[in-house]
Amino acid sequence: MNKAKRHEIFSRLRAENPEPKTELEYSSPFELLIAVLLSAQATDVSVNKATRKLFPVANTPQAILDLGVEGLKEYIKTIGLFNAKAENTIKTCRILVEQHDSVVPDTREALEALPGVGRKTANVVLNTAFRQIAMAVDTHIFRFGNRTKVAPGKDVLEVEQKLMKFVPKEFLLDAHHWMILHGRYICVARKPKCDACLIEDLCEFKEKTST
């Protein structure tokens, strides 16, 4: 895919949604961190349902620590893998209290040192909470990069690196949100909605079905 085509793809995505936002509900970097921690292998909808009950009760590292693992589980038990997530969340909150004065760090190294926080989670927090250029490649963005040929790669790291290289600089800050929303609602896994796609004529997906 050439540079001009990539530029037009992101121009159209920006025109349709000038200020894209995550669908996770949060009001602070800490709330976002916890929401992203809980979202692994779970939908944003299920996470939001849980955090709407959790955050009014506990939305600081100390408050969640005070709930304890079992107390936290009561709020997040509707989310997949909630046992492991509860353990990691409590450990993360303890580190934030003891090592970071209860403030979410704004560097990749410090974020990835938190239990349960991998590269993707760190990238989401850096990009969404701190407005740093970072590319969190989830299943939707991996599919978007490979299917459109904007940034094909064998694994998420390769797709991330290609996106950082090939997405025009003016779009890098918000590209993550445009791609995830497009992948979630239009470029879906099983039957992509090509007829409703605003970049269909630019996409290099080789298996488009003809009507």
Catalytic residues: 120, 138
CA distance linking residue 203 with residue 50, whole number of Å: 37
Return the amino acid letter for 142.
F
CA distance linking residue 194 with residue 208, whole number of Å: 8
CA distance linking residue 181 with residue 141, whole number of Å: 9
For the chain, the straight-line distance linking the first and the last C-alpha, in angstroms and rounded, comes to: 25
CA distance linking residue 13 with residue 148, whole number of Å: 14
CB-CB contact of 164 with 135 (8 Å): yes
* Exposure on the CB side of residue 131, measured as CA atoms within 13 A: 4
Tokens matching residue 114: 């938190």
Query: How many Cβ atoms sit within 10 Å of the Cβ of residue 19?
Result: 7
Q: How far is CA 169 from the centre of its chain?
A: 20
Return the amino acid letter for 80.
G
